[in-house]
């Protein structure tokens, strides 16, 4: 599906008219959940997860047969400021690794039966150094949003959006501070593993970016401080909503991209759950700010969509229990 917008104003308007969950499917799922052979609430968050999924799939007894993982890669001009422990060339090298099936996300996608695609976004043309200029022009930002939108398979039944981009924890930290307030120190972590001096430098870079740009509009925050892969993830998450495809959010960088949508239009992430809590320190406060409780907390900080892909197993388990269990009547078990 070709993206139905050609400007940031168009994209903002689109977010204001996105579909809602299926109330009838939710009610049917709630009725079924109340009849299953278990004490009420015994499956904890699995029950909540199944009800959420049913409401967006439009089926009170849903299945999950076609998960999709999309990985977006972009290069950041802000890496010239020495914010990463790895050089920008690693982005290109990792894209090749994804394409040859050698990365962690390839293994996790295969483990949970997800179709995975990789989208390299103008890697030979890094974004601007946001300490000196906006990271993207409006045209570049819109093109990245469109790339994300178009990458979503309307036939998918759940979406994981991941990323690769040396320097993108710096962008995510700047976006977090711009959207939710607070000092750069509160949002900036070690990312790829910078040392103490590197962290001090990274905080400086984020602070300079915050001071340079107008932060009053969330989409302008994305344009000025983000990257093509962050914009593409935002576009993909919005596209999934248009197709009523549920979304599992990944870590700090994905959550930063998603937060732009929520700050632009309240409720824009109702079709999304948080797959995991990243080891990047500010991820928890970002999840709290958008009202999401992570499904997993395993100390992951890889990106690539890896934590969200792992959470596909939790979602599969929730759906299997909800849709496969017998009711008390079917099992001939006396209800309490």
Which residues are the active-site residues? 304
Cα–Cα distance for residue pair 29/59, rounded to 1 Å: 8
Let me know: does 192 contact 86? Beta carbons within 8 Å. Answer: yes
The single residue listed with the structure tokens 């609430």 is 41
Helix 196-212 with 168-180: angle, nearest 10 deg: 50
Residue whose token pair is 């607070």: 182
- Edge to edge, the sheet with strand 115-120 lists 115-120, 67-73, 158-164, 247-249, 272-274
3-state helix, strand, coil in the chain (%, to 5): 50, 10, 40
Report the C-alpha gap between 325 and 333 in whole angstroms. Answer: 12
Distance CA 217, CA 106 (A): 36
The backbone torsions φ and ψ at residue 7, rounded to the nearest 5 degrees and listed phi first, read: -155, 165
Q: State how far the Cα of 185 lies from the Cα of 86, in Å rounded to an integer.
A: 21
Structure tokens at 273: 């759950």
Q: What CA–CA distance (Å, rounded) separates 39 from 37?
A: 7
Please state, in angstroms and as integers, the Cα–Cα distance from residue 278 to each residue in 74, 194, 251, 275, 296, following that order: 21, 17, 5, 9, 9
Q: How many CA atoms lie within 13 A of 299 on its CB side?
A: 0
Residue for token digits 């509009």? 217
């Amino acid at each position: 599906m070709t993206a139905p917008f050609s400007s940031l104003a168009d994209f903002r308007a689109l977010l204001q008219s996105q579909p809602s969950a299926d109330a009838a499917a939710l009610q049917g799922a709630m009725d079924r959940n109340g009849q299953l052979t278990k004490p009420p609430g015994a499956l904890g968050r699995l029950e909540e997860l199944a009800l959420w999924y049913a409401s967006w799939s439009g089926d009170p007894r849903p299945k999950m047969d076609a998960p999709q993982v999309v990985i977006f890669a972009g290069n950041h001009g802000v890496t010239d400021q020495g914010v990463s422990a790895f050089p920008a060339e690693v982005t290109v090298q990792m894209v090749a690794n994804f394409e040859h099936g050698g990365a962690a996300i390839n293994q996790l996608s295969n483990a949970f039966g997800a179709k995975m695609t990789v989208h390299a976004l103008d890697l030979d043309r890094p974004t601007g150094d946001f300490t000196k200029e906006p990271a993207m022009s409006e045209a570049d930002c819109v093109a990245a949003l469109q790339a994300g939108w178009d990458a979503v398979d309307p036939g998918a039944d759940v979406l994981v959006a991941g990323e690769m981009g040396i320097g993108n924890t710096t962008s995510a930290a700047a976006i977090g501070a711009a959207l939710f307030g607070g000092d750069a120190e509160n949002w900036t972590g070690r990312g790829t593993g910078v040392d103490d001096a590197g962290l001090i430098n990274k905080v400086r870079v984020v602070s300079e970016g915050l001071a340079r740009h107008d932060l009053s509009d969330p989409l302008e925050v994305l344009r000025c401080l983000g990257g093509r892969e962050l914009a593409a993830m935002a576009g993909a998450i919005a596209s999934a909503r248009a197709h009523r495809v549920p979304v599992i959010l990944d870590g700090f960088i994905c959550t930063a991209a998603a937060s732009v949508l929520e700050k632009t239009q309240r409720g824009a992430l109702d079709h999304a759950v948080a797959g995991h809590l990243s080891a990047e320190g500010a991820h928890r406060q970002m999840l709290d700010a958008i009202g999401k409780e992570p499904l997993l907390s395993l100390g992951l900080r890889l990106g690539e969509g890896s934590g969200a892909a792992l959470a596909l197993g939790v979602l599969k388990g929730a759906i299997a229990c909800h849709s496969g269990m017998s009711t008390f009547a079917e099992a001939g078990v006396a209800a309490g």
